[in-house]
Amino acid sequence: MSSTEPTMTILVYSDDRATREKVRLAVGRRPAAGLPRVEFVEVATHAAVTKALDAGGIDVVVLDGEAVPAGGMGIARSVKEEIYQAPPVLVLIGRPDDAWLATWSRAEAAVSHPLDPAAVASAVADLMRRRAAGAAAAS
């Protein structure tokens, strides 16, 4: 394996360490064939999300809608309103009936708790493809 192998960085936000771990394990090092390897940035606070996004280099954002005190859906909406060409966002919602809230948040994808590893990996892979296509179109 070459050290120049492309990677994409995924920001995972949740106040719950177990939720962050479930996302990380579901996605693995490469969520689907043909995609770059994944590096993770894990954060537990809204301030840390903002700092990581301000620093740049984040390709996909996974936000826990059930996190407290700052829920991922509100953070997603802020990210989409405040960051030019914001990375695609996956929100983790409490139940399938909360999908309308994910739409309100302007997230591109939603997966409900309890987290199905295959659904999380598929959603992240789709968002990685979207990000890669957007980067290719911008160059």
Domain ranges, ordered by start, for the chain: 7-134
pLDDT digits (tens, 9 = 90+) for 80-128: 999 999 999 999 999 888 888 889 999 999 999 999 999 999 999 999 9
Superfamily of domain 7-134: Response regulator (3.40.50.2300)
Contact between residue 127 and residue 88 where contact means Cβ atoms under 8 Å apart: yes
Contact between residue 36 and residue 8 where contact means Cβ atoms under 8 Å apart: yes
Contact between residue 107 and residue 63 where contact means Cβ atoms under 8 Å apart: yes
CA-CA distance, 80 to 116, in Å (whole number)?
Answer: 26
- pTM for the model: 0.93
Give the amino acid at 122: S
Please list the residues that pair with 37 across neighbouring strands.
7
